[in-house]
Amino acid sequence: RVDRMIVLSDGRANHGVRDLVGLARIAEEAREAEVAITTVGLGFDYNEKTLAQLASASNGSHHFVPDASALDTVFAAEAAAASASVAAECMAHVKLAEGVELLEVVDRAHRQTDGGVAVPLGAFSPGERKTVLLRVRLPAGGEGNEGVASLELRYRDLGMDGEGMVAGALAVSIVSDTDGALDPLVDLRLQRRRTAAALKEASRLFEGGRLEAARRVLEDNARDIDRARHSFEPGMPRERDPRRTDILGDLATQSRDTQASLDNLRQAEQLRGQRRRGFVLDNQMMMNPYFD
């Protein structure tokens, strides 16, 4: 049974389905069939938007390689992920409590269900973490504990060769204090989203010849990341958060991606007289951060 595909392409369809909506629909059908599509853009002149959408819609990964010499690394990483999987066909079911309104599922493909959503999560390797971030509105009420949702994760256990399921519930404590900070993991996901948006916007501006505007977008995002990292420094509120190391590592990756794009932009500014597309390309799928 095929459950993973790798597409090496320039992202420019020249026959059959060519539009982004149609290609995304094919990727969604692959996801429903539990097939993840990993896309690889080769060289600097490829359609990143199309390949990223194919990967995101199918729960796959997206890689950029500047030339063929880097393909071995991508293939090795994909092979390692496939061989190490301990669970497959994972589906998170979220049923909202009465009166709770779903506003948004952040950066994840999903489908509406009776009273909630189902979110496909693909396969898991040992120790891998995936998250589902929802934005909801709670019914008006006073302070106290409020149920938000019941949760189920159903999956195929590859070790036991059978079906598995874990369940839980989510509640919040409502208080009148309006100064409470977001949970650090939620804050991280939102920062990833801002980073993804900044990289895409900078790429769009670059392709339109607006190099200075692209640079400002990237520099603003670099400052946002620095502010997020500062909250974990000694003496700051999040210094002792148990997830500090993992979160700082992720922020460091975002910082490197942003800095690499700035470096490439500066090179492009020096070569402004020459035509060169697509500088925001070292993107291990920042669009759907972690695929988690």
* DSSP code string of 32-95: HTT-EEEEEEESSSS-HHHHHHHHHHTT--EEEESSGGGHHHHHHHHHHHHHT--EEEEEEEEE
Collapsed DSSP state (helix, strand, coil) of residue 105 = strand
* Fold annotation for 4-83: Rossmann fold (3.40.50)
Q: What percent of the chain has pLDDT over 90?
A: 16
Categorize the per-residue pLDDT at 273 as very low, low, confident or very high, splitting at 50, 70 and 90: low
* Fold annotation for 87-174: Immunoglobulin-like (2.60.40)
Q: Name the residue among 75, 74, 64 with its Cα closest to residue 277.
A: 64
Give the largest Cα separation in the chain, rounded.
63
Yes or no: say if 64 and 283 are a contact pair by the CB < 8 Å rule. yes
Q: Where are the beta strands (DSSP E) in 220-286?
A: none
| Phi, psi (degrees; rounded to nearest 5) at 107 | 60, 35
Q: Rounded to 5 degrees, what angle do the CA atoms 170, 172, 177 make? A: 165
- Per-residue confidence (pLDDT) for residue 272, from 0 to 100: 63
pLDDT digits (tens, 9 = 90+) for 167-181: 999 998 887 776 666
- Per-residue confidence (pLDDT) for residue 94, from 0 to 100: 96
Q: Name the residue among 2, 71, 5 with its Cα closest to residue 41.
A: 71
Categorize the per-residue pLDDT at 284 as very low, low, confident or very high, splitting at 50, 70 and 90: very low
- Start-to-end Cα distance in the chain: 24
pLDDT at 12 over 70: yes
The Cα-based distances of 76 to 72, 73, 246, 262, 282 in angstroms read 6, 5, 24, 28, 17
Strand-strand pairing, 36-42 and 4-9: parallel
* Helices (H), ranges, 140-243: 184-207, 211-230
Rounded to whole angstroms, the Cα distance separating 121 from 109 reads 9
Mean pLDDT score of the chain: 80
Strand-strand pairing, 162-174 and 144-157: antiparallel
Domain extents in the chain: 4-83, 87-174, 184-291
Q: What is the mean pLDDT of residues 41-62?
A: 78
Q: pTM for this structure? A: 0.61
More confident residue, 33 or 292: 33
